[in-house]
Structure 1
Amino acid sequence: MVESHRALTTTARTWTTPAALPFPQQPARTELIEQWHRRCSALGLTRVERPDFEPLMRGDLAVARERNQRLFTHAAPVMEMLFEQIVDTESMIVLADVSGTILHSVGDDKFLQRADKVALMPGVNWAEHSKGTNAIGTALFEEAPTVVHGGEHFIHANNFLTCSAAPIFDPRGNMLGVLDVTGDQRSYHQHTMGLVRMSARMIENQWLSDDYSNRLRLHFHSRVEFIGTLLEGIIVVGMDGKVLGANRSALDQLAMSSAALRMHSLTSLFGTTAPAVFDHFRVPLPAPMMLCLADGRRFHVAARFNGPQRSMVLEPHVAQVPTDAAVNARPAVTESRKPLGALAGDTANSADGTLFSGLHYLNTGDPQIEALIHKVQRVINRDIPLLILGETGTGKELLARAVHQDSNRARQPFVAVNCASIPESLIEAELFGYEDGAFTGARRKGSVGRIVQANGGTLFLDEIGDMPLALQARLLRVLQERQVTPLGSLKSIPVDIAVIGATHRKLRDMIESGTFREDLYYRLNGLVVKLPALRERRDLEVVARRILLTECPHATPEISAAVMSLFKACAWPGNVRQLANVLRTASVMAAGEVEIAEHHLSDDFLEDARSGRPVQAPQVPAAMRVAPPVADAVPVRFPEVSDERAVEPAVEPAPAQAMAESAAPRTLGESEVELIRNALAAANGNISVASKRLGISRNTIYRKLRRAK
């Protein structure tokens, strides 16, 4: 999308720099306009119609906007960016729904006032049956990009306008609405239509990514340098190779309608299969694939998998993909990586081979996490608020995103607000939005606010305990009434949101001290779950491995036994986030090597780990010692010490014996064997009991004792 923005910005600059150009007149054009005008006359319109100043009632407009909230969500950022490029050009940008009703507009204040005189404003219908020939209505009728300039408008009152509009389609070819740039007819420029079409394609591509975020996408063009730009074609492919959808550029390049393209599969279209595509892109840094149509036309193809808010990985266990593809079947990605994304493994596999990330993939072998997931799964789609407690860095936002992905709201927005990172003076405007001129420094045309942005989806309030007390009352009212009133506005906007809160603070203590509202607490805690700290979890190796898979997808190093022992002894005050930072540095230092060793770790971490300051081995609760060990539940592809845990033995040696042993230096391996023997003695030689008490597998006990002989 960065390339798309850059291309659009470049086009906008070339559009605003030269002087306005005369509108070209061609005989074919004149004949086309006459045809459109005859169509309007047949509708009973006259060219001296007075502008219709009866827009939709406020409530009806709110309903129309709510019905098209997803269209607005994708279009609004594009419109704002476009407006920044055409500011002070006597122009405006208009978004209309599929019926021709204007939903939203931005533009120069003076021109907006002129547009108001012909009812070119939100709530007014500009379909042809209402306003005659005009770019919005005619583009809807023709289902194609349309320019209507000056006197080409059917109604004389609109002759001062020049309008360029492009329809917006979803990946299945259904029209969603129209994007339009309108200005004074004297300021016409030939690049306007191209600018509008590119903007519409940006919206369509975002819609496609949203609809098929967890499906394989093939990005193609006959010229390899155009892959990654707005000119590339994109088709979405199911795991069985069937074409599910495509963008407009794909339809143009393939010369097919959307319905015709969806009748094809990869085999009938390009003469290949999904397994062949996966096989091609499983190597590190693969080159674009060359595919041919039946008529001989050749295209450069890149396979990508664009998941929400994280880099997505094509795992080896997808249907029909050979298992030897392993973890190298990864497309090129441009999204920024998040350390906590590795905890989720970035993807998961459903029974039908569809890739997605969700709650079940967070289950990495720790019994506490497994119990937490079972609880959360029971309340999904039940309109029960979720409150996530846990230390900083434990992955609270990751859990919230997984809940959103597994809910019925997965295709709607997930909006995260960190209440601690936004200045207190701005958090109210950030959450609730504001009208134009609501306060000094406010953006022109205001802002919808994060709550409205989350309409239809999930609002994640991170660090809710840091929200100012005065705002807590407003948030409580929004959660109760499901309406939000922007700053400086007298009207309320209805919202439909699922709310997930998170904090590292003790809210009950804050309630007693008067810094957190008790009524808001009970509104947020429909289900309260606590994410365990990393030092309390039994899946450290799985988490570390997945972080490395994200950081080094093509040549993932192993973790040496010595390093893993250090990791197990560390208290990890920064939790998963700290582990990710340590491994990120270590993976860079170990580039090209097969194993991360101690000398690859940063000096400060080694100093802390060896000095024992924050690295005291945690006590595992007694209830946890009888849980199934990780090594028995998760396939092991890790170093030999992968299923050990730093756990105190059930019976400690006598004090005198302990003092004598501590006086003599021992290796880490000797200490491990001593722990195992003590546990076995306490269990009367029962290996199953000892393995449960130690939290390791029976195979590990056998292996350690065999090596000690």
Structure 2
Amino acid sequence: MTIPAEPTRPAISGETGDGAVQPERAELIAQAHQRSASYGLRPYESPDFCPVLQSELKTRIERSQSLFTYALPVMETLYDQIVNTQSMVILTDADGLILHSLGDDDFLAQADKVALRAGADWSEESRGTNAIGTALAENRATLVHGADHFLEANQFLTCSCMTILDAYGKTVGALDVTGDQRGFHKHTMALVRMSAQMIENQLFGSAFRDMVCIHFHSRAEFLGTLVEGIVSFTPGGRFLSSNRSGHFQLGLTNKALQAHTFSSLFGMPLSLFFDAVRGAPAGIVQLQLPSGVKVSARMEWKASPASMAGAGVPATTPDAVAAPRRLCPAPAKPEGLADLDTGDAQVRTVIGKLRKVIGKDIPVMVLGETGTGKELMARAIHADSPRHAGPFIAVNCASIPENLIESELFGYEEGAFTGARKKGGIGKMLLANGGTLFLDEIGDMPLHLQGRLLRALQERAVQPLGSSKVIQVDVLVVCATNRNLREMVASGQFREDLYYRLNGLVVRLPALRERSDLDVVAGKLLRQDQSQGHAGGEPPRISDAVMELFRRYHWPGNMRQLGNLLRTARLMAEGEAEITEDHLPDDFLDDLRERQQQAATTAAQAAPVSAVLPVGQAAAQPTRLAEVEALAIVAAVNAHHGNISAAAKALGISRNTVYRKMEEARGLSQPPG
């Protein structure tokens, strides 16, 4: 029995090589049109030209920060393959809101006519049948070509879209290529699928970087490619998640896999697999899937002695630690506090305070806005502490599902979960034994777990789920949050006793807009980007004009936003001596220009009734609330130049309600008799 050499994503419904429409795809489009009509859309309706405010767009990007970070370089690579084809590349969040786009200048001008730009909502509810909205609604690869679009205004487009899943199989966004329908190419969808899979695999690797990840395929030459399956396990062998190709090759859904362990999937204990990896050429061994298919597999695990000992691997055996590590890229030397001192007085003060408590086991809480570098600071604390040889274990309390965070943090014993392995699973707190435990977004920890964390910290001991055994642990705790924990304590959302247990030393990282070393930080980020291989050659310098723009900007995403922007700018300026304004993303420049403007009003401005009636015709004086409401809605439509979508959004009501009230208003305008 064999499996396909290159498992790919689900095919576009009924798509043939030349883009012909078959019955299945016709049915998909027909159903999407039915949904569009049920939302109150009309085919002749004008596009909604009311994107969200820049502040809201920044918030939405921050909510999808991991997606945004990993998607940006992939989008740039994808755009390089379709450049000069009257096309653009689009990234959206799970709701269909466009977060970022790249495209040919001439096509971007056309796209702007239908509000195909950052901040615009392209869900089916807002735009009717379109590749982004329909792909998200159907959770599948979707091609919407020309007249397939529900709104007539969008029918000059051809769009190929694929949803993007996070490490746990949840839809977090969509990647789309949109172009002029006259330039349709049958290979576009394949490029979109491959690019979306690159993003998914990077999200997967980031989520499970401290776990055991098995890379496998029936053909060894496909290891390390986009089509390899990846499955992650705890060091004890409990299944965590799998990428799409892993599901395909295993023939099981993520839900079905939850009851499995490494042993039940691959037919051997994980400890024996460790032994096999140590003795195998290039660390590649043969495994057998439940279906009987034999696959080649390799392992990635950034193991620490403590985690290997907990998994049953003798930490005293030199090659037991070396084998898994040689399969991973050698990590860069961690930055210490001195590396973070780039000239800003506020940061230097923070560093001075931290140096006084390092090595004294005083818990540290780092406050600051999203993207200010709180984890970098935590890693620097660890690197400069006497614990630097021990593990640094990061736990993002906001990203782990609530039903898993307890077992992830404290571990579990035999029988705690259906299908759990005999020895249970190791928690992150035990993995951090002898090192540093970084609790990011601590303000998002569920209230019912806060008491258990407090007890573990006070007693310096962990009791895994389902176990009566208490295990002593020695960890330095560093916490971070962008939330106001004092307000949360006052409102009962955060335990007061835990708050005072964690804030031994509280430091606040300044926002990027508050720092005086912006030029130094920007230069450092450019050099780091070069060293990480995102672009070759010496990085270009940042022109004085661009640095002046940077100083005027408010940087809501802080250093994370600056890093992403510089990565894009550097690629745009490749081969040139300096980065100029021409190399900066359009959404950044638009946001900069709008900074001083007042936010566009989200409520319709009351207009005189006479403004919405024919000249010379007096309106009947409204005497009932319903009449006043109807006339106000007509005024809102008038204020939005006849755009029903925009008026409905501004008023917070459905399009069907707008149409109905307009009919009522027309009745008011008719002369009696």
Scaled by the length of structure 2, what TM-score is found?
0.52
Q: Give the 3 Å change call, closer, same or farther, for CA 341–52 of structure 1 in structure 2.
A: closer
Aligned partner (choices 489, 495, 502) of residue 592 of structure 2: 489
In structure 2, stretches of 5+ residues that fail to align are 1-5, 7-16, 337-353, 395-435, 442-478, 482-508, 530-541, 565-587, 597-673
Alignment equivalent of 2:120, drawn from 119, 124, 129: 124
1:292-313 Cα shifts (integer Å, max 9, x gaps):
2333122211111258xxxx89
Cross-structure match for 1:353:
none
Cα distance in 2, alignment partners of residues 97 and 214 from structure 1: 26
Q: Does 1:300 align with 2:296?
A: yes
Find 1:188's aligned residue among 175, 184, 188: 184
* Mapped partners of 2:94, 2:28: distance in 1: 23
Give runs of aligned pairs for residues 68-87 of structure 1, distance below 5 A. Answer: 68-87=64-83
What is the CA-CA distance between 1:423 and the residue it aligns to? 8.8
Distance 1:213 1:449, change over 3 A: farther
2:104 corresponding residue in structure 1: 108
Change (3 A) 1:489 1:306: farther
Residue 231 of structure 2 is aligned to residue 235 of structure 1: yes
Shift of 1:205: 1.2
**Is the CA contact (8 Å cut-off) linking 1:172 and 1:259 kept in structure 2?**
no
Deviation of 1:177 after TM superposition, in Å, equals 0.7
From the superposition, tell whether residues 422 and 262 of structure 1 become closer, same or farther in structure 2 (CA, over 3 Å).
same
The correspondence of residues 8-87 of structure 1 with structure 2, limited to 5 A, is 23-87=19-83
Structure 1 residues 399 and 377: alpha-carbon distance in aligned structure 2, compared to 1, 3 A threshold: farther
Determine the structure 2 residue equivalent to 1:147. Answer: 143
Distance 1:408 1:269, change over 3 A: same
Give the whole-Å Cα distance in 2 for the aligned partners of 1:31 and 1:258: 28
Shift of 1:100: 1.0
Check if 1:158 corresponds to 2:151.
Answer: no
**Structure 1 partner of 2:363:** 378
User: Alignment partner of 2:34: what SS?
Assistant: helix
Q: TM-score with structure 1 length normalisation?
A: 0.49
Distance change >3 Å, CA 268–CA 181, structure 1 → 2: same
Is the Cα–Cα contact under 8 Å of residues 231 and 249 in structure 1 kept in the other structure? Answer: yes
Q: Distance in 1 between matches of 2:302 and 2:480?
A: 16
What is the letter of the counterpart of residue 225 of structure 2? T
| Contact residue 103 and residue 123 of structure 1 kept, 8 A | yes
1:289 and 1:412, CA in 2 relative to 1: closer, same or farther beyond 3 A?
farther
The Cα shift of 1:261 comes to 1.5
Aligned match of 1:12: none
Change (3 A) 1:239 1:328: closer
Distance (Å, rounded) in 1 between the aligned partners of 2:209 and 2:153: 45
Partner of 1:320: 312
Q: Secondary structure at the match of 2:102?
A: strand
**Root mean square deviation, CA, Å:** 4.9
Which residue does 2:324 correspond to in 1? 331
Most deviating of 177-186 and 252-261: 252-261
- In 2: Cα distance, 1:179 partner to 1:412 partner: 31
1:138 aligns with 2:134: yes
Aligned residue type for 1:408: L
- Report the residue type matching 2:312 in the other structure: Q
Which residue of structure 1 aligns with residue 439 of structure 2?
408
Using the TM superposition, give the Cα deviation of residue 150 of structure 1 relative to its aligned residue in structure 2, in angstroms: 1.2
Q: Within 2, Cα distance between the matches of 1:26 and 1:180? A: 22
Aligned counterparts, 1:464-503, within 5 A = 489-490=592-593
Q: Distance in 2 between matches of 1:108 and 1:412?
A: 41
Going from structure 1 to structure 2, the CA distance change for 1:213 and 1:492 (only over 3 Å counts) comes to: farther
Quickly say closer, same or farther: Cα 1:284–1:28, change in 2 above 3 A: closer
- Contact kept in structure 1, 2:54 and 2:591, CA below 8 Å: no
1:187-216 CA deviation, whole Å, 9 max, x = no partner?
111111111111111111111111111000
Aligned to 2:84: 88
- Which amino acid is 1:55 matched to? P
Question: Cα distance, 1:327 vs. partner?
Answer: 2.7
Question: Residues of 2 paired with 1:370 and 1:317: CA distance?
Answer: 32
Q: Quick one: percent identity of the two aligned structures?
A: 36
- 8 Å contact kept, 1:166–1:197: yes
Distance change >3 Å, CA 342–CA 299, structure 1 → 2: farther
Supply the AA of the counterpart residue of 1:407: F
Matching residue of 2:523: 427
Deviation at 1:430, TM superposition (A): 5.7
Q: Distance in 2 between matches of 1:170 and 1:239?
A: 21
SS in 1 for 2:359: helix
Cα contact 1:316–1:327 (8 A) shared by 2:
no
- The answer to whether structure 1 residue 264 and structure 2 residue 260 are counterparts is yes
Aligned residues of 2:313 and 2:320 also touching (Cα < 8 A)? no
Q: Does the Cα contact within 8 Å between 1:22 and 1:188 map onto a contact in 2?
A: no
Look up the SS of the partner of 2:278 in the other structure: coil
Residue 304 of structure 1 contacts residue 331 of structure 1 at CA under 8 Å; is this kept in 2? Answer: yes
8 Å CA contact retained: 1:340, 1:395: no
**Alignment partners' CA distance in 2, 1:457 and 1:280:** 44
Greater mean deviation of Cα atoms: 89-98 or 29-38: 29-38
Higher relative contact order (CA 8 A, sep 6+): 2
Q: Which residue of the partner structure matches residue 456 of structure 2?
A: none
Q: What is the alpha-carbon distance in structure 2 between the residues aligned to residue 117 and residue 173 of structure 1?
A: 35
For 1:371 and 1:412, the matched residues in 2 are separated by 19
Matches within 5 A, 1:664-675: none
CA contact (8 A) 1:280 1:286 kept: no
Contact 1:219-1:302 within 8 A present in 2 as well: yes
| 1:374 alignment partner AA | G
Cα–Cα, structure 1 residues 492 and 80, in superposed 2: closer, same or farther, change >3 Å? farther
Change in CA separation of 1:227 and 1:449 when aligned onto 2, cut-off 3 Å: farther
Q: What's the CA shift for 1:165?
A: 0.8
How many equivalent residue pairs? Answer: 408
* Structure 1 letter corresponding to 2:103: G
Q: Which residue is 1:636 aligned to?
A: none
The CA deviation at 1:31 is 3.2
- Deviation larger for 168-177 or 24-33: 24-33
* 1:73 and 1:453 in contact (8 A); partners too: no
Q: For 1:507-546, what aligned pairs fall within 5 Å after superposition?
A: none
What secondary structure, in the 3-state scheme, does the structure 2 residue paired with 1:268 have?
helix
- 1:387 deviation in Å? 9.1
Matches of 1:132 and 1:72, distance apart in 2:
25
Asked whether 1:290 is paired with 2:321, we answer no
Q: 1:375 to 1:395 in 2, by over 3 A?
A: closer
Deviation at 1:262, TM superposition (A): 1.9
CA contact (8 A) 2:58 2:556 kept: no
Structure 1 residues 82 and 42: CA distance shift in structure 2, 3 A? same
- Note if contact 1:134-1:154 (Cα within 8 Å) is conserved in structure 2: yes
- Deviations 1:58-117 (Å, cap 9, x if unpaired)? 222222222222221111121122222322221111111111111111111111111111
Q: Distance in 2 between matches of 1:214 and 1:98?
A: 27
Residue 387 to residue 241, structure 1, CA distance change in 2 (3 Å):
closer
Question: 2: CA distance between counterparts of 1:379 and 1:458?
Answer: 26
Tell me by how many angstroms 1:451 deviates.
9.3
Match of 2:203 in 1: 207
Alignment of structure 1 residues 576-587 onto 2, 5 Å: none
Sort the Cα spacing of 1:429 and 1:168 in 2 relative to 1 into closer, same or farther, 3 A.
Answer: closer
* 1:148-200 deviation line (CA, Å, top 9, x unaligned): 11111111111111111111111211111111111111211111111111111
Cα-to-partner distance string for 1:526-559 (whole Å, 9 max, x where unaligned): xxxxxxxxxxxxxxxxxxxxxxxxxxxxxxxxxx
How far apart are the structure 2 equivalents of 1:331 and 1:340? 19
Contact 1:381 1:408 in 2 (8 A): no
Q: Which one is further off, 376-385 or 103-112? A: 376-385
Alpha-carbon distance in 2 for matches of 1:301, 1:395:
37
CA distance in 2, matches of 1:315, 1:170: 25
